[in-house]
Amino acid sequence: MKITPRKRCFLWSLILVLLLTGIPVWAGEEGVVKSGVANIRKGPGISNAVITQVKSGQVLPVLDRSGSWLKVQLHNGQTGWISESLVNIRTVAEKKVVVTGSSVNVRKGPGTGFSVVGKVYEGDTLPVLGARDGWYNVKLAGGGQAWIAGWLVKETNGSSGQNNAQPSRSSSSTKQLVVTGNGVNVRKGPGTNYAAVAKVYKNAKYTILDQKNGWYKIQVGKQQGWIAGWLVSVPSAQPPAPPAPPAPPANPVPIGSTVVVITGEVVNVRQGTSTEAAIVGKVYRGDRLVVSDKQGDWYKVQLANGQSGWVASWLTEPVQGSGVSRGGTQRSEVLIVPIADNQVFKVAELAGRVELILEGWVSGQFQVKQGSAADKLVLELEANSTRNYEGEIKRLGISQVKVYPQNNKSIVELDFASPVTYNVAYEANSKTATIRVGTAQTRGLQGKLIVIDPGHASVQPGGWLDPGAVGPRTNLYEKDVVFNIAIKVKQMLEQAGARVIMTHMGQTELTLAGRAEIANANNADIFVSIHANSSDKGLYSGHSTYFYAPYGDEILGPQRYERQKLATLVQREMVKAGGRIDIGVLEANFAVLRETRVPSILVETAFISDAQEEILLGQESFRTQLAVGIFNGIKAYFE
């Protein structure tokens, strides 16, 4: 039979209708694994590779279908495919969250260490696919999924009687945006992969016609197009009147009147007074926090970043005074050695630094001495004790702790990984001496412990590595460039007598905070993260170095001079060696800088997006020059 153009058009239309009617509407389904062990595959079909396995009873949110196969999400955020025959399907009440932040990043995984994949905005309603560690996995309006922080949304439910519909974008037409970038592209569609149709400039105002996936549709002359939401500002509408405050609890705790110490090892801080409430932070054994409210068995407390939340009272103990410590980076007791009745020796950590604490001795009953070497401290304590102890605390740089009796005294010897200094503070009322230990300021790199962090190369769901920025002309990966530079810096530092720890050797499963923790746990002298920069359309070039030390932060603020000094010297020497434009020393709240408790910097060696610098970054000789510059800057810092 001859197929005419008209018949061919009809057949394609019929096929399209059949395909479309076969696509299910996402309706809050989940699959429960029937029995035994089931394979999760990379794609829909047994010909696809097995990526992991799940066990009987495991609940898997259903994201999509393809024939008799289901695309599901695992507890770690990874996705894969499972045969429908291996699960029981059930429909669950669709949970939704409403965005409360004005402009909120959504990420690849549940944490700020994961890369940003888009933005959502205040009032957006998002279906929930799953939850983990205080983060929600949500379905985005334009398709796809991402993770959003639980403290930037509020839960809602279709059965509650609330209006959960996505806000009408047509209502946005009365709102205007202001361009914050200069020479910003307006594109044919909502994404950087669409062609540019116009350019707009800083402070220009445009009416919003539509909004999608973090992009705004605007009219420029006779041309309509889309502009990225992160390059504009949208004045907020007048907020609604706040709801009436809730009735106070029966026995409220006066603000600031009670201080509690955390007794659990790691305790979750939650949005509400329930173990089911979303997690907004964590605190640790020994943390001291002011109680501002009490409801039932829960205390309301404030963390160092300004967030407030609730902790279970059964994981705390009340203490006297107001010695509040910074949540997550506060003083913690690492070692407790009872010497005699009511006399105790402790090793504590505060912001990565060592404190030795003596409780129960009056002034004159103890002596602190430098040992035979500069890396040794000796405590002579008047105590009739038979206590013997020997151990180590490597993460604090203590290679050996020894406690033993000698005549009528008890001796404590501490060997450190590098020369140390100390000062003693004594509180007569509590009979407590605090010996603060610091690193001796020796000149040069000999004995210094330096953590080098080559940027990117994190293992992603599916096993591939985050490449960082990619050179548009040569397909050069940032992760490969900076790893090469980092290895060269490592070799130079070690030849000069420093000890170097790499956060990874080509790939890592650590989060950004986990990379910083390597420096914290090893009490490093400095932390240096190495990157290559990138900009849209290759508009910029040159070197820059970042530090972060806000004045009000009790841990980072006091390090401001050291951090800025390190950044300034490395930037100066890198510009000398690399010979490109000096963008300067900048301050930014990058995770690896915020989470490190030792002086830290992030180096942007050059722009991989720039036509000339992309070629240079691919050359061994240029990478060696950059490594020499970074090394010289570090060396100058210690001199």
Tokens found for residue 129: 């696919």
Transcribe 272-341 into DSSP letters.
Answer: SSSTTSPEEEEEETT-EEEEEEEETTEEEEE-TTS-EEEEEGGGEEEESS-----TTTS-EEEEEEEEET
Average pLDDT over residues 615-624: 89
Average pLDDT over residues 200-226: 79
Percent of the chain with pLDDT over 70: 78
* pLDDT tens column, 226-275: 888 777 877 654 434 444 433 333 333 343 446 777 776 567 888 888 87
Residues 308, 183, single domain; the answer is no
Average pLDDT over residues 164-193: 63
CB 310 within 8 A of CB 271: yes
Band (pLDDT 50/70/90 cuts) for residue 158 is very low
pLDDT in the model for residue 251: 36
48-52, 315-319, 485-489: least confident range: 315-319
| Cα-based distances in Å from 83 to 19, 39, 78, 297, 486 | 20, 9, 17, 45, 45
Residue (of 76, 240, 100) closest to 156 by Cα position: 100
440-454, 488-502, 542-556: least confident range: 440-454
Residues 572, 628, single domain; the answer is yes
pLDDT at 24 over 70: no
pLDDT at 330 over 70: no
Q: Is the residue at 384 inside a domain?
A: yes
Average pLDDT over residues 616-629: 90
105-119, 277-291, 563-577: least confident range: 277-291
* pLDDT tens column, 582-612: 888 998 889 999 999 999 999 999 999 888 8
Residue 341 sits in a domain of what CATH number?
Answer: 2.60.40.3470
Domain containing residue 269: 258-319
* pLDDT tens column, 516-527: 989 988 888 999
pLDDT in the model for residue 187: 84
Residues 278, 426, single domain; the answer is no
pLDDT in the model for residue 247: 39
Q: What is the number of residues in the chain?
A: 639
Average pLDDT over residues 197-221: 79
- Selection from 13-22, 161-170, 337-346, 533-542 with the highest mean pLDDT: 337-346
Domain boundary residue, one of 319, 351, 367: 319
Residue (of 624, 629, 619) closest to 471 by Cα position: 619
Q: Is the residue at 479 inside a domain?
A: yes
Q: Is the residue at 242 inside a domain?
A: no
pLDDT in the model for residue 257: 47
Residues 603, 456, single domain; the answer is yes
pLDDT in the model for residue 596: 92
pLDDT at 164 over 60: no
Band (pLDDT 50/70/90 cuts) for residue 210 is confident
Kind and range of the H or E run holding 499: strand 499-502
| Cα-based distances in Å from 408 to 340, 371, 411, 414 | 12, 20, 10, 20
pLDDT in the model for residue 12: 52
Domain boundary residue, one of 91, 126, 148: 91
pLDDT in the model for residue 373: 76
Residues 67, 113, single domain; the answer is no
pLDDT at 141 over 80: no
pLDDT in the model for residue 105: 82
Task: Return d(Cα 111, Cα 69) in angstroms, integer.
Answer: 30
pLDDT at 528 over 90: yes
Residues 99, 138, single domain; the answer is yes
pLDDT at 22 over 50: no
Q: Is the residue at 538 inside a domain?
A: yes
Residues 362, 493, single domain; the answer is no
155-159, 277-281, 364-368, 596-600: least confident range: 155-159
pLDDT in the model for residue 544: 93
Please give the residue that has the higher pLDDT: either 588 or 10: 588
Q: Is the residue at 327 inside a domain?
A: no
Q: Could you give the strand order of the β-sheet that contains 59-66, starting from the edge strand earlier in sequence?
A: 50-55, 37-41, 79-83, 69-73, 59-66, 29-33, 87-91
Give burial (CB, 10 Å; 0-12/13-18/19+) of 216.
Answer: buried
Domain boundary residue, one of 76, 91, 106: 91
pLDDT in the model for residue 264: 67
Q: Is the residue at 2 inside a domain?
A: no
Q: Could you give the strand order of the β-sheet that contains 176-179, starting from the edge strand earlier in sequence?
A: 205-207, 176-179, 232-233
CB 587 within 8 A of CB 595: no
Residues 532, 607, single domain; the answer is yes
pLDDT in the model for residue 235: 67
Backbone angles phi, psi at 230, to 5 degrees: -80, 0
Band (pLDDT 50/70/90 cuts) for residue 478 is very high
Residue (of 230, 176, 225) closest to 200 by Cα position: 225
Residues 144, 225, single domain; the answer is no
Average pLDDT over residues 374-380: 88
Average pLDDT over residues 204-218: 81
Residues 148, 195, single domain; the answer is no
Q: Is the residue at 597 inside a domain?
A: yes
Contacts of 413 by beta carbon, 8 Å cutoff, 6+ apart: 371, 376, 377, 378, 379, 400, 401, 402, 403
Q: Is the residue at 325 inside a domain?
A: no
Residues 223, 83, single domain; the answer is no
pLDDT in the model for residue 241: 40
Start-to-end CA span in the chain (Å): 88
Average pLDDT over residues 150-169: 49
Please give the residue that has the higher pLDDT: either 112 or 340: 340
Average pLDDT over residues 367-379: 85
Residues 429, 453, single domain; the answer is no
Average pLDDT over residues 368-385: 86
Please give the residue that has the higher pLDDT: either 141 or 76: 141
**pTM above the 0.75 mark?**
no
Band (pLDDT 50/70/90 cuts) for residue 421 is confident
Please give the residue that has the higher pLDDT: either 291 or 6: 291
CB 492 within 8 A of CB 441: no
Average pLDDT over residues 4-9: 54
CB 574 within 8 A of CB 614: no
pLDDT in the model for residue 55: 76
Residue 208 sits in a domain of what CATH number?
Answer: 2.30.30.40
* pLDDT tens column, 430-445: 888 988 887 665 568 8
CB 187 within 8 A of CB 134: no
- The mean predicted confidence, pLDDT, of the chain is 78
pLDDT in the model for residue 174: 53
Supply angle C-alpha 67, 72, 76, rounded to 5: 160
Average pLDDT over residues 296-310: 77
Show the DSSP H helices in 22-95 as ranges.
none
Domain count, the chain: 6
pLDDT at 170 over 60: no
CB 263 within 8 A of CB 317: yes
Task: Return d(Cα 229, Cα 220) in angstroms, integer.
Answer: 16
CB 369 within 8 A of CB 319: no
